[in-house]
Chain A
Amino acid sequence: MSEQGESVATTQWPGAFWRALRRLAPPDGLLMKTTELACYECDGLPLYRKRPQAVVLPRTRDQVGAILALCARYGVPVVARGAGTGLSGGALPHPEGIVLSLARLNRILALDPGNRVARVEPGVRNIAISEAAAPYGLFYAPDPSSQIACTIGGNVAENAGGVHCLKYGLTTHNVLGLTFFTADGTLHEIGGPTAEGPLDLLALLIGSEGLLGVVVEVTVRLRRKPPAALALLAAFSSVEEAATSVSAVIEAGIVPAGLELMDTLALEGAQAYTGIPYPPGSVAVVLAEVDGDPEGVALDAEVLRAVFARCGAFALEEAEGEADRRRLWLGRKSAFPAMGRIAPDYYCMDGTIPRKALVPVLAGIAERAQAAGLRVANVFHAGDGNLHPLILYDAKAPGALERVERLGGEILDLCLAAGGTITGEHGVGVEKLDGMCAQFTAAELAAFHALKTAFDPDHLLNPGKAVPTPARCVGAGGLHVHGGRLPFAHLERF
C-alpha cells in the first residue's frame, strides 16, 4: 500500500500481513483506496456504516482458504459479503478487519436435472439458479424480494425466505450440502444427497450470519415448476376481517404458495405508486396464491372463494396467467418503496407471531401508534405470521426518531408477548442485537457464544454480529429508511 498515497494509511496490522495478502489476492482483487472502499461501508441497512481496512475479492476457493488462514495467523477480523442486500447490517464491515467479497465466486458448477440438484458457488445470484433450471421445468424455491441481486451465499448466511416459503420452506429446507472454511482456513464438506447425518451441521451454518464459516459451495435442491397457479385478491372493510380470513384459509386445510395482507395505509401508498386501483372501500386486502396441478388449484380456489366470502370480503379479483398474476401482486411487491409517497421516512420491523394473534397484535400496534402520535402501515406475510409494520415518520421533526424507536421496541415486545420472535427473516445482524436479549436468556446467549467459539475460537468471523454480549442488553432495533431512500429501491420488497 506504500505505493498508493490515497490508501488507508493507518493500520495496526504489520507490513508482512499486507504483503502476504497482496500475494494471495488476484491482481485486481484487493481494494484499499478510500474511494474503492466507500461502497462497501454498509449493506442494505445504510444507517450503520464502517470503513474496512481492505476489501478482498478472491476468484477461487483456494484463495478464500489461504486468505482466511492468513487472517487467522495475524488475528485480523473477516466479514464475508455477497451482494450486500441484507437488511440487518450483517455485512457491516469491521473497522480493523477486511471484507471478504464472495461475489466473484459466481459459477454454477453443475446442474443435475435428473436428481434435481444444482451445485453453485456462493456468489451466484439467487434468481440465476432458477433461470438455469428453467429449461428443465425446475426452479429454486426460496425467493427473497432481492432475488435478482442477492447471492445464494448471502441467502445461506441469513436463512433467506421469500413469498413462497409458506409452502416451500426457507433456505434451510432447500439446501442439501455446503462446502465451507472455518476461520482457520480448514475446509469442511457437510450434507449429502438427503442432507442427513449424525450432526446436522447444515442447520447451524444456515442462518449463522457469517459467524461460523465462509461458504464456498452450495448444493441446492430444485423443484418441479407447478403446472398451474392462481392468485386471488380479497377486499375487506376491516383489518380484523382480513386477518381472520388468513387464519380461516389455513384452517380450511389450504397451503397457499403465498398469503399476504395489506392495510389501508399500505394500500394508499401502493395505489399512489403503481396507479393500479384497489376495489373502492378497501380497508384491507388479502392476497393469496395457490399452485399445483390444475385440478388441485381449481379445488383450492373454490375453497378460497368460500372462505373469503364467509369472512366478509366484499370484492374478489382473480388472476391466472403469469402477467395477470404479476399485476395483481405489483402493489404488494412495491409496497415498501411506495411508502416514500406518503411519508418522508419509515422504519421497518420484522417480527413473527402465531396467526391466531394477528388481530390482537395488529390492534395493539394501532393503539400504541396512536398513543405515540405515529402512523403505522402493515404489509406482510400473513400466512406465516411474519409482520412487517412500517412506522412512518419525519426524521427532521425533533425527537421523532426516538419516538419511533420506542414504538418499535413496543411492537417487538408485543410480538414476543404473543409467543413470537424478533426476526422472521431479516436476521439479527447489528440491528436486532438488543432484541436478542429480550428473546433469549443469558444461558441461551452463552450457548450461542460457545457454539461460535467451537467454530471460530478467536472470534474473527463477523465479530460482534447476531449474538449480543450480556453487557449489551438494552433497547430495541429496526430498519431505518430516510427520505424514502430505500437501499436497492429498484428491488421488489416483501
Chain B
Amino acid sequence: MVDCDQGEALAAFVRAAYEQDQALEIVGGGSRRHLGRTPQGATLALSGHRGIVAYEPSEFVVTVRAGTPLAELRAFLAASGQDTLAEIPQFAPASTVGGALAVGLTGPARPYTGSLRDSVLGLSILSGTGQALMFGGRVLKNVAGFDVSRLMIGAFGTLGVLLDVSLRTARVPEREEVIRWEMSWLEARARLRAWEGAYPLTGACYRQRTLYARFAGREARVAAACRALGGERDASGVLAALRDYALPDFSESASLWRVLVPPDAPLTDASATIGWAGAERFRVNAEEASVRAEAARDAGQVMAVWRRDRDAGPWARPGDASLTLMGRIKAALDPRGLLNRGRLYPDW
C-alpha cells in the first residue's frame, strides 16, 4: 500500500492560496466531482496524500489519510478480518476516503450500523488559512472541545481540507445473505420493523415491489434467519449497487433525489427505491416540485445527489437566519471562502 504524507506540502499550497486569495477545488479520486454545484478554483489534488497512519485491530479504529482509495482501505482492513463500521458508498474504483467523507453519504446499512459521521472519531484538517488542526481523537468517548469532526462530514469540503481521519472499524461477518420477497411496501415496512433486534439485519431496500434484506453476522444466527424467514436468495448485488449509487436506473438518470422523511411517511411514488427502513427514498428523474412536496408533507428534507440544473445545488437554500449562521461558521474556518468555493451555495 502506498504510504505518502503530503501534509506539509498541502499546507504550504493552501497557505500560498490564502495569501493570493486563490480559490481551491479539492479533488481526491475525482469520482464525486459531478456532485454539488460546479467547482471553481485551482485544483488541490489530495490523491497523493495516502496511506494508513495507524491501525490497531483490537481497538477497531483505523487512522487513514484522506487521499487513500476506499477500495485500498477496505482491502487493507480485510487482511485483519475487518471493514469500516459504516457502509461507505464507492462511486468508482478511484473513490477516496476524503471524498466520501466530504459528501457524507451512507449506504443502506445506516439504520443498523450508523451513519458515516457516527463512525468518525476524529480528524485533522487544513483550515482555509492553511493551518493544520486536529479535532476529536482515536478514542470512543471524547467531549473535549466542539465536535468539529462531525461538522466536516457532508460539508462538501467547504469548511476544511481533510487530511486524515480516524474511523471505527468492525469485524467482517462470518456469513452474509441477501434474501428477497415480493410484497407491498406496507408489509415490507412492518417486517423490517419486526426483524430489527430479532434477526441480524444489516441492510435492506425496497424496490419494484420487492423487499431485499441483508442478514450478516455469526454463521448460526444468519442460518437461523434464513430458515425462519423464507424468501429467495438474491445474488443480484442490489444492495451493493444501491450503496454505490450504481443501480442501472440511477446511473442513467439526469436527476437523482434523496427524500428524507420519517419512516412511516406514506409512499407517494410507487417507483421510488426505498432505503433506511423507509427514511430514505430515491426518486429518479422526478420533478423538483413533486419531491419537495413529498418532503414538506412530513417535515422531511430533500438532497439532490445530482440534478439536471446542477448549480441549483444539492440542498435547498436554508432560511436567512440559518444561512447567516452557516456563513459565519464557514468564515470561522475559511475566512476568505477559498475552499470548494460555490460547491454548496452560490456565495461560499
A contacts, CB < 8 Å to B? 112, 114-117, 158-159, 161, 165-166, 169-170, 172-173, 182, 186-188, 190, 192-204, 206-208, 212, 224, 226-227, 247, 250-251, 253, 292-293, 295-296, 299, 352-356, 381, 384-386, 419-428, 432, 435-436, 439-441, 443-444, 447-448, 450-451, 453-455, 466-467
A82-B132 Cα distance, complex, nearest whole Å: 36
Q: Is the CB of B260 within 8 A of A196?
A: yes
- Please provide the chain B residues from 199 to 243 with a CB less than 8 Å away from any CB of chain A in the complex: 199-200, 218, 220-221, 224
Q: Answer whether A356 and B145 are a contact pair too, CB < 8 Å, given A188-B322, A193-B300, A253-B171.
A: no
Q: Answer whether A450 and B114 are a contact pair too, CB < 8 Å, given A354-B139, A381-B141, A428-B144.
A: no
A231-B142 Cα distance, complex, nearest whole Å: 26
Residues of chain A within 8 A (CB-CB) of B137 are: 352, 419-421
Q: Is the CB of A352 within 8 A of B58?
A: no
- Residue of chain A at shortest CB distance from B150: A203
A440-B142 Cα distance, complex, nearest whole Å: 13
- Please provide the chain B residues from 111 to 157 with a CB less than 8 Å away from any CB of chain A in the complex: 114-115, 117-118, 127, 131-135, 137-151, 153-156
Q: Is the CB of A207 within 8 A of B140?
A: no
Indicate with 1 or 0, residue by residue over B184-200, a CB within 8 angstroms of chain A CB atoms.
Answer: 00000000000011111
Residues of chain A within 8 A (CB-CB) of B149 are: 203
B225 to chain A, nearest CB (A): 10
Please tell me which one of the listed residues A198, A212, A295 contacts residue B314 in the complex, with CB atoms under 8 A apart: A198
Please tell me which one of the listed residues B59, B133, B155, B260 contacts residue A355 in the complex, with CB atoms under 8 A apart: B59
A403 to chain B, nearest CB (A): 25
Q: Is the CB of B144 within 8 A of A421?
A: yes
Q: Which of B110, B145, B159, B299 has the most CB of A within 10 A?
A: B145
Residues of chain A within 8 A (CB-CB) of B135 are: 444
Q: Is the CB of B301 within 8 A of A193?
A: yes
- Residue of chain A at shortest CB distance from B60: A250
Q: Is the CB of A439 within 8 A of B143?
A: no
Residues of chain B within 8 A (CB-CB) of A226 are: 197
Number of residues of chain B lying within 8 A (CB) of chain A: 75
Q: Which of A115, A199, A425, A435 has the most CB of B within 10 A?
A: A199
Q: Is the CB of A199 within 8 A of B155?
A: yes
Please tell me which one of the listed residues B276, B315, B333 contacts residue A198 in the complex, with CB atoms under 8 A apart: B315
Indicate with 1 or 0, residue by residue over B37-62, a CB within 8 angstroms of chain A CB atoms.
Answer: 00000000000000000001111110
- Residue of chain A at shortest CB distance from B320: A186
Residues of chain A within 8 A (CB-CB) of B159 are: 199
Q: Answer whether A428 and B143 are a contact pair too, CB < 8 Å, given A117-B262, A200-B151.
A: yes
A419-B139 Cα distance, complex, nearest whole Å: 8
B106 to chain A, nearest CB (A): 9
A354-B63 Cα distance, complex, nearest whole Å: 13
Residues of chain B within 8 A (CB-CB) of A247 are: 58
> Residue B74 at the A interface, CB < 8 A?
no
A440 to chain B, nearest CB (A): 6
**Can you list 15 A-B pairs with a CB-CB distance of less than 8 A?**
A194-B110, A194-B279, A198-B344, A199-B154, A204-B146, A204-B151, A227-B197, A354-B138, A356-B56, A384-B139, A386-B140, A420-B139, A423-B143, A444-B145, A450-B333
Q: Is the CB of B329 within 8 A of A454?
A: yes
Q: Is the CB of B332 within 8 A of A453?
A: yes
Q: Is the CB of B143 within 8 A of A299?
A: no
